[in-house]
């Protein structure tokens, strides 16, 4: 027979274990759903995850946009490296060549298969990740 104190200590121990387990599972699920941002140079250097979704951002290369119905192919560059993007869907109204964008998707045989394309809001706005990546690339040159 357990005393009141032993019952209380067992309950506290089970509560601590339960909260710890819930915290661990929550952090694990959160970490698996994070989409990290990479520049074309980061991807070329092999820093992007293999077989997982991530964000790739840069400038849409001038003269690279090719449309075939709803499918669009274009290049994204950080002026040091360039990647081909394939996207099926309706592009944002603000999408155009020479503009900063962020795409979400994964790399398949050297082509980035995008599931989402985000364009900058106006002429003065650049996604912070894209601006930082372009700045790093300029500093390397």
Residue 87 marked as a ligand binder: no
Distance of alpha carbon 89 from alpha carbon 104, whole angstroms? 13
Residue ranges per structural domain of the chain: 1-34, 35-119
Q: What is the pLDDT of residues 94-115, one digit of tens each?
A: 888 888 899 999 988 889 999 9
Of 34, 89, 83, the closest CA to residue 58 belongs to 83
CB atoms within 10 A of CB 45: 11
pLDDT exceeding 90 applies to what percent of the chain?
Answer: 36
Residue 138: predicted pLDDT: 65
DSSP string, 8-25: HHHHHHHHHHHHHHHHHH
DSSP letter assigned to residue 48: S
Average pLDDT over residues 3-18: 92
- What pLDDT band is residue 10 in, cutting at 50, 70 and 90? very high
Which of 38-42, 50-54, 122-126, 133-137 is least confident? Answer: 122-126
**79 annotated to bind ligand:** no
Q: Which two tokens stand for residue 112?
A: 């980035």
Q: Which CATH architecture has domain 35-119?
A: Beta Barrel (2.40)
């Amino acid at each position: 027979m357990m005393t009141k104190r032993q019952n209380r200590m067992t309950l506290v121990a089970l509560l601590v274990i339960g909260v710890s387990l819930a915290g661990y599972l929550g952090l694990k699920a959160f970490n698996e759903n994070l989409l990290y941002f990479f520049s074309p140079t980061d991807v070329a250097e092999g820093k992007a995850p293999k077989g997982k979704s991530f964000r790739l951002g840069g400038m849409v290369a001038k003269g690279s946009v090719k449309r075939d119905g709803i499918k669009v192919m274009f290049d994204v560059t950080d002026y040091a490296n360039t990647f081909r993007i394939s996207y099926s869907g309706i592009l944002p109204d603000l999408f155009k060549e020479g503009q900063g964008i962020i795409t979400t998707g994964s790399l398949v045989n050297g082509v980035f298969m995008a599931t989402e394309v985000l364009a900058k809001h106006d002429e003065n706005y650049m996604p912070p990740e894209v601006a930082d990546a372009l700045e790093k690339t300029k500093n390397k040159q």
